[in-house]
Amino acid sequence: MDTQKTRTWAEISLGALRHNCRQIQRSLPAGCGLMGVVKADAYGHGAAVVAEQLRQAGAAWLAVACPEEALALRQAGESLPILVLGASDPAWAPVLAEHRVAQTVECREKGQALAAALHPGQRLQVHIKLDTGMGRLGFPWEGAGLEQALEVLRLPALEPVGVFTHFAVSDEPETGREYTQEQFRRFRAAVSELEQRWGNRFPQRHCANSGGVLFYRQEGYTLDLVRPGLLTYGVYPGRERGGLDLRPVMSLRSRVAAVTHHRKGDTVSYGRIWTAQRDTTLAVLPVGYADGLHRCLSGRLEVLIRGRRFPQVGRICMDMCMVDVTGCPDLAPGEVATIFGRDGEAEISAAELAEKAGTIPYEILCAVSPRVPRICSE
Ligand SMILES: *Cc1c(COP(=O)(O)O)cnc(C)c1O
């Protein structure tokens, strides 16, 4: 892995990714498959590479947010079944069918429009989405919602291969247990009514996201498939580990661009929000908010250099930020700095950064911008 000329990069540990897949798969009952969630460029990790690893690790399906993401995977040669989780424009139907991509159907009108948009002789695989309490997409789980889902199930141009729902609070085991259990109960009731009246079984029933796998797998929420996204990338949605030992896949690293010296009383960066309280040595890092380092973290994060933590100071700029490295003797341009990830014995997690930024680790990972090359390591 030669990064000598790279200013800032995201290191993607394929070994960690495979380890996480094995850990997750081992925790599942026999017969339950893994649907790898690779939307948003695999949470910023690089969808084509992640998909290939997941396939080799034995994943049964891939999930993306939109048709564009599915087609990009097909263009990269990906052969696994793919599900588009989002609500897509019906005009996509012929292309999706041609590329053997399954589409979520969230309402009767969409099901009819997808079927109508297909070319003669084409069939489109679909997964029926039920809203059991997320309040986002899906057929209502009871009453008229099920009548409408049944109408979609009977459209000859559609091939229903799955049914699913999505949890709102499965990642909050302390406060969200009752609600998650209620969502699961609704899902089971709706699926069994649908199957009974339709006269067929859904080959794939699925509901467990990362929280579902972490905290509800022993209660049977795994069904035919699970859809953990965040866990695959070695990041937990909260503090609890749920009996899984996962490794972070992404580290964000940069290279010291310059080392500068400042007198007590000097100010640094836009807005002059930081003043040197003593004679100070700074490292200028070529990483800024255009790379995904949120500007709201200005003056609040720490960076690892030589396995030690140093405070970032002053406003984070678009392409750079400054780190107080006073007391780190003869630091030179070219040395590696870690924004999150491991450096020697020290580690900064995406979760730590998320907490400081007032957000969730998902957003920290997804924010790493396309300008940052993804560099895979074993
Ligand atoms: C994103 C997403 C997932 C994965 O969520 P995680 O919290 O990352 O496990 C699963 N299902 C659906 C419908 C999603 O949109």
Residue pair 313/322 in contact by the 8 Å Cβ criterion = yes
Q: Is 297 helix (H, G, I), strand (E, B) or coil?
A: helix
Residue pair 294/321 in contact by the 8 Å Cβ criterion = no
Query: Which residue minimizes the CA distance to atom 15 of ligand 1?
Result: 85
* Residue 220 sits in the same domain as residue 272: no
* Residue 129 sits in the same domain as residue 255: no
Cα(222)–Cα(32) distance, integer angstroms: 7
What confidence tier does 329 reach under pLDDT thresholds 50, 70, 90?
confident
Residue pair 212/32 in contact by the 8 Å Cβ criterion = no
Mean pLDDT of the chain: 97
Q: What is the pLDDT of residue 268?
A: 98
| Predicted TM-score of the model (pTM) | 0.97
Mutation pick for ligand 1 pocket among 43, 166, 227, 365 (CB with most ligand atoms within 8 Å): 227
Domain of residue 178, residue span: 14-233
pLDDT at 1 over 90: no
Picking from 15, 46, 22, 51, the residue whose alpha carbon sits closest to that of residue 36 is 51
pLDDT at 374 over 80: yes
* Residue 62 sits in the same domain as residue 178: yes
Active site residue 110: no
Picking from 312, 310, 288, the residue whose alpha carbon sits closest to that of residue 300 is 312
* Residue 202 sits in the same domain as residue 299: no
* Residue 196 sits in the same domain as residue 257: no
Q: What is the pLDDT of residues 224-238, one digit of tens each?
A: 999 999 999 999 999
Residue pair 297/311 in contact by the 8 Å Cβ criterion = no
pLDDT at 309 over 80: yes
Q: Which two tokens stand for residue 325?
A: 């490295």
* Residue 278 sits in the same domain as residue 198: no
CATH code at position 137:
3.20.20.10
Residue with tokens 């491991």: 342
Catalytic choice (216, 270, 356, 362): 270
4 within a domain of the structure (yes/no): no
Tell me, in angstroms, the distance from the centre of ligand 1 to residue 270's CA. 38
52 within a domain of the structure (yes/no): yes
* Residue 296 sits in the same domain as residue 212: no
Q: What would the mean pLDDT of 136-148 be, rounded to a whole number?
A: 97
Q: Is 54 helix (H, G, I), strand (E, B) or coil?
A: helix
* Residue 325 sits in the same domain as residue 277: yes
Domain boundary among 172, 199, 233: 233
Mutation pick for ligand 1 pocket among 209, 216, 232, 365 (CB with most ligand atoms within 8 Å): 209
* Residue 29 sits in the same domain as residue 167: yes
Q: What is the pLDDT of residues 246-303, one digit of tens each?
A: 999 999 999 999 999 999 999 999 999 999 999 999 999 999 999 999 999 999 999 9
242 within a domain of the structure (yes/no): no
Q: What proportion of the chain, given as a percentage, has pLDDT over 70?
A: 100
Q: What proportion of the chain, given as a percentage, has pLDDT over 90?
A: 98
Enumerate residues 6+ apart whose C-beta is below 8 A from 103.
67, 83, 84, 88, 92, 93, 96, 114, 124, 125, 126, 127
Active site residue 5: no
Pairing of strands 267-268, 274-275: antiparallel
**How crowded is residue 147: how many other Cβ atoms within 10 Å of its Cβ?**
12
- State how many domains the chain has: 2
* Residue 112 sits in the same domain as residue 213: yes
* Residue 72 sits in the same domain as residue 45: yes
What confidence tier does 2 reach under pLDDT thresholds 50, 70, 90?
confident
Q: What is the pLDDT of residue 264?
A: 98
Q: What is the pLDDT of residue 363?
A: 98
Enumerate residues 6+ apart whose C-beta is below 8 A from 198.
150, 153, 154
Closest-lying ligand 1 atom to the alpha carbon of residue 85: 13
Domain boundary among 203, 233, 263: 233
35 within a domain of the structure (yes/no): yes
pLDDT at 34 over 80: yes
315 within a domain of the structure (yes/no): yes
Can you state the angle between helices 108-117 and 144-153, rounded to 10 degrees? 10
pLDDT at 216 over 90: yes
What confidence tier does 68 reach under pLDDT thresholds 50, 70, 90?
very high
Exposed / middle / buried, residue 206 (Cβ in 10 Å: 0-12, 13-18, 19+): buried
Query: Which residue minimizes the CA distance to atom 7 of ligand 1?
Result: 210
200 within a domain of the structure (yes/no): yes
Q: List beta partners, residue 322.
A: 284, 313
366 within a domain of the structure (yes/no): no
CATH code at position 289:
2.40.37.10
* Residue 168 sits in the same domain as residue 124: yes
Residue pair 159/124 in contact by the 8 Å Cβ criterion = yes
Residue pair 62/35 in contact by the 8 Å Cβ criterion = yes
Query: Which residue minimizes the CA distance to atom 1 of ligand 1?
Result: 229
